[in-house]
Structure 1
């Protein structure tokens, strides 16, 4: 219960039966500068959510026979679970090493290679989009498929000067659907046969030419190269470390308590 003075300082802004929502209950919204919406709109949303929640509680209380002891036990279990979770989280984040050397990634890849299977086609490729009428088109076609270092350098310079779009990261694996997006190849019905039959692919639309030189490809259901799954494997290894740290924490707490005789089991 609040005195009249306290009620004037902290007025009721909503009520469901004899349950009240006061101004102080929504101060955290007005004081939080991270929200983009104005505070009045946010307060109104919170009030509506609070009312709906209280109405559900009221209706549930009328229609359910609640075992108070069981409810309190569940609330305690939930509270303890939250405390343990926060403790584990803080401990793990403090101890966790997120650096994964390439050798560890390679070792995991070799042991679990069969667990990785491509869902789509990936390629290493050089790609350039140019205007069909560009005088340098023939030169670009020749340089695009060359493996000579000087030609590769000249190709990149031409791409920077004349291309509408290009991709020259030939050591990087990329999803084939991503590289052919917004090109006439996006409508091709059989990319697998096309890749098997051609290393150099040239297609045109009304105004542009799209030139591809396929260096390497992998098809659906094949094992991807290490480079393509390196980041995924790194995340798997870090997550395994996270789980191991949490499990070790439980063991350490138990063993310490056992050593110090902090608990007793009665027959």
Structure 2
């Protein structure tokens, strides 16, 4: 009787190959498991690594909380001083907050919590509404729309400052042809304008556009010898003036004047009217948006008001 063949003798033994494969798989899975656990442990350690600077009770101040406040131009000494002051201020606030929660009446704490919640909600909703308004608002306002609004509301546009139309130049103190400039500033013919334009580089200051309205406060800023005490004397309709200080000589001609409580001229008030129109559009859009949000929430059964049976 021949001997029973062993697995070693049979190179194509099916069960031996399967057993070998299973052993290799077990070894592979165990190896992968150790690798995964090792890498996860490393990841978790990196994730929770935060460097605390100070602690008050259960509250921590971390290095990353203060990092953005350290400027690049700070010296090491300035940075250290800033961090120390910041930590002390933070600790003081935390300690006072803790004391306040213990010592303030419950109703006060509840009131403050409501105020904080309301403020938080206002910040979020205001930012969201502003984003929607910027995306949807039409900012185009035609001159015709401005004029129409002006004519309708003209009686409400009263001046709170005296306005003037004028032309003026500022000359160096030693300017030789001052009399010639004065004469041409008064005449103001085309040839006079051309002449003054041709020598304008010699002037220290210049304003020839006498068709625009300018507030008296602005005129006083650019012509130093003029003050709130003497402007009544010099800033009168058809008045020509010559003023001087240590820096220069100022020659000017006032062509028109509007007093406080006069109706503001259209061109002067037009920028304000444009802003009023845009503000009104914005307000209407926000009202419409709020209405649409509530209507949509009611349709989706996300909002309902319960009847009060009392």
Same fold (TM over 0.5): yes
Per-residue CA distance 1:132-174 (angstroms, 9 max, x = gap): 543322221122123423322322222x232122222223222
Corresponding residue pairs, total: 258
Q: Pick the structure with greater CA Rg.
A: 2
Greater RCO, CA 8 A, separation 6+:
1
Q: Pick closer, same or farther for the CA change 1:110–1:44 going to 2, 3 Å.
A: farther
Secondary structure at the counterpart of residue 251 of structure 1: helix
Q: Displacement, 1:96?
A: 1.3
RMSD of aligned alpha carbons: 3.2
Per-residue CA distance 1:22-80 (angstroms, 9 max, x = gap): 223334445xxxx6763936655543442232133123123213357666655544443
Q: Displacement, 1:198?
A: 4.8
Please, which runs of 5 or more residues in structure 1 have no aligned partner? none
Q: Displacement, 1:256?
A: 2.6
Whole-Å separation in 1 of the counterparts to 2:238 and 2:223:
17
User: Which residue does 1:141 correspond to in 2?
Assistant: 182
Whole-Å separation in 2 of the counterparts to 1:164 and 1:12:
61
Per-residue CA distance 1:6-32 (angstroms, 9 max, x = gap): 8994232123344321223334445xx
Whole-Å separation in 2 of the counterparts to 1:109 and 1:47:
57
Q: Pick closer, same or farther for the CA change 1:197–1:224 going to 2, 3 Å.
A: closer
Q: Does 1:53 align with 2:96?
A: no
- TM-score (structure 2 length as normaliser): 0.70
User: Which residue does 1:176 correspond to in 2?
Assistant: 216
User: Which residue does 1:13 correspond to in 2?
Assistant: 53
Q: Displacement, 1:196?
A: 3.5
- TM-score (structure 1 length as normaliser): 0.80
Whole-Å separation in 1 of the counterparts to 2:84 and 2:154:
54
Q: Displacement, 1:92?
A: 0.8
Contact residue 29 and residue 43 of structure 1 kept, 8 A: no
Q: Pick closer, same or farther for the CA change 1:36–1:236 going to 2, 3 Å.
A: farther
Contact residue 56 and residue 94 of structure 2 kept, 8 A: yes
Whole-Å separation in 2 of the counterparts to 1:75 and 1:147:
65
Please, which runs of 5 or more residues in structure 2 have no aligned partner? 1-44
User: Which residue does 2:74 correspond to in 1?
Assistant: 38
Q: Displacement, 1:249?
A: 0.4
Q: Pick closer, same or farther for the CA change 1:75–1:121 going to 2, 3 Å.
A: closer
